[in-house]
Copies of this chain bind each other. A is one copy, B any other.
């Protein structure tokens, strides 16, 4: 396995690239908009794959996607949102025409788990056998490494850490549960909290800036206002952080990881706004029983991480995890 192909099927863009398995370098990559018309989808995927393969011999294909993939058949079982038309599709069949009939290993999985696979093979989780990873963005994804292997669960659902219940009577979540972490600590949740305070006329720079255009509030703008010392913004971020800290503490007690990795757009908030206060809260919760602190670090793969993570599936994330 030297030359791998990684494909990331996102809600807005299809990304693909050729990865050198030896060092995790992205040799070549391309992308295009994700067609939302079923008929155009396969054609766009094949065109993209042929573009990045460029006649080279590929040893394996890894695919990251929204939704839940059957661990054995690599069929997409369920897929939320605009890609719902892909449900029931077999990924090996979908990409076969781009491989000119050669028998190539194909592995597909949820994109939160591919992010973890990438970190495990080439990034921040390398060499660890017990890892919890959260991807904080529009949603909250996650992945668990136990005994050096990425957990998939009985039906491919394991690692849905965004649906950790932090408040059993709390906010409705899109998943059907109440009080999921994702309903508090995600970009839409933080934006909704800020929007509510703006529309109530709270005395805040957020109100000054967004009263006439409340739908334009971004999670980044809320973190920025908090960093400027705005009391309302600090409270919104602080409340969300307490939910994340409590949930992470529970995950640590359940899984006893060597390291916690955070990825996703919200991690751009940085050390002072996110990593330091979060680590202080989590460790205040767990250090007494654990007898140690748990490091909370940022994901290492940056540019092309979705493609690298997909490709890492084929490396066999479990086998690639070295001793520690």
Contact A253 B151 (CB under 8 A): no
A64 at the interface (CB under 8 A from B): no
Residues of B within 8 A of A155 (CB): 256, 290-292
A254 at the interface (CB under 8 A from B): yes
Copies in the complex: 2
* A151-B147, A288-B176 given; A251·B249 CB < 8 A: no
What does the 1/0 interface line of A249-270 toward B look like (CB < 8 Å)? 1110111111000000000000
- Report the minimal beta-carbon distance from A95 to chain B, rounded to whole angstroms: 25
Contact B254 A164 (CB under 8 A): yes
Partner of A250, one of B78, B163, B289: B163
Residues of B within 8 A of A149 (CB): 147
* A77-B291, A159-B254, A168-B245 given; A154·B130 CB < 8 A: yes
Contact B151 A255 (CB under 8 A): yes
Q: How large is the interface on A (under 10, 10 to 19, 20 to 34, 35 or more residues)?
A: 35 or more
Residues of B within 8 A of A285 (CB): 165, 176-178
A247 at the interface (CB under 8 A from B): yes
Partner of A130, one of B153, B243, B257, B290: B153
A171 at the interface (CB under 8 A from B): no
What does the 1/0 interface line of A264-290 toward B look like (CB < 8 Å)? 000000000000000000001111111
A286 closest partner in B (C-beta): B177
A66 at the interface (CB under 8 A from B): no
Contact B286 A176 (CB under 8 A): yes
A169 closest partner in B (C-beta): B242
A-B contact pairs, 6 of them (CB 8 A): A160-B256, A163-B289, A166-B166, A176-B288, A178-B285, A251-B254
